[in-house]
Amino acid sequence: MSFYFYVIALQVKQDSMKKIISFIFLFFITFSSHAHVGHHKNLKNLKFDIYRNGQYAGFHHINFNWKTDESLEVENIIDFGVKKFGITFYKYTSKGTEKYDSKGKMTSFSSKTDDNGREKFCNITLRDKGYYIKGTKFDGIFNKPFLISSYWNHDIVTVPTQFSGITCKKIDQKVNFLKEENFEVAGKTFETKVFDIKGEKLDTQVWFDQKTRMIVHQVLNKKGKWEYKLKEYNLN
């Protein structure tokens, strides 16, 4: 799963918000069917604050539960609201769970989302002939390389396709390496590599720490500038 990612200008209407939510929370999950999750074996959790145009909107927490057999379960929790004159007029919550076997292969993914009263979902199950994917935007078998749109997994930059962890929408993507950058966040300076990822209604930049391959920052461009700012992390 896997990896993975949302206060609007005062004049923005709810329908405009709905168009960008699925894009924004692609951060929420980007996981490869054959992800190198073992690179994150010491990672316990990541906590991001979400901002739009510099204003706080909510949070995204990612919890890593490593089992004794070296399998992995990853929980994503997203909660944010958009306010106008101090009153919340848009509310978004989402929860998703990814499961990987001891070899790092995704065995299942499931999510439920409340998009300001509109229910969305995405379920993915490993089968003999590929992955059965059923969600708000997709229903069928897929047997080519892909990731779920949760950007904690650095393998997101290696695959041609991602599926939205919110709706299971299939998105073909193009990835370009931008630069190396010393990036300060969460009280530390990280030596990062920055990648640009684009696709249909997708325009995002992601910062990965070179030493741990941990995501430390993300910017999403859609109806404004959305940022995932790393607040806390637990890396043993």
> Does the residue 119 lie in any domain?
yes
Quote the pLDDT of residue 13: 45
Quote the pLDDT of residue 20: 45
Give the HSE-up count for residue 210: Cα atoms under 13 Å, Cβ half-sphere: 11
Give bridge partners of residue 141 from the DSSP assignment. 132
Tokens of 103: 């070899």
Instruction: Tell me the pTM.
Output: 0.83
The total domain count for the chain is 1
> Does the residue 130 lie in any domain?
yes
Q: How far is the C-alpha of 51 from the C-alpha of 73, rounded, in Å?
A: 27
Contact predicate 185/217, CB 8 Å: yes
The CA angle 50-204-141, to the nearest 5 degrees, is 100
> Does the residue 142 lie in any domain?
yes
Quote the pLDDT of residue 2: 40
Using DSSP's 3-state secondary structure scheme, residue 157 falls into: helix
> Does the residue 63 lie in any domain?
yes
> Does the residue 192 lie in any domain?
no
Contact predicate 230/206, CB 8 Å: no
> Does the residue 187 lie in any domain?
no
Q: What are phi and psi of 116, to 5 degrees?
A: 55, 45
> Does the residue 154 lie in any domain?
yes
Strands 147-148 and 161-163: parallel
> Does the residue 76 lie in any domain?
yes
CA distances in angstroms from 78 to 59, 92, 170, 189, listed in the order given: 6, 8, 21, 26
Length of the chain: 236
Closest CA to 70 of 32, 99, 93, 110: 99
Quote the pLDDT of residue 97: 98
pLDDT along the chain (236 residues), means of 10: 36 46 42 59 93 93 95 96 86 96 94 97 96 98 94 94 97 98 96 97 97 96 90 91
What is the span of the domain harbouring residue 136? Answer: 14-173
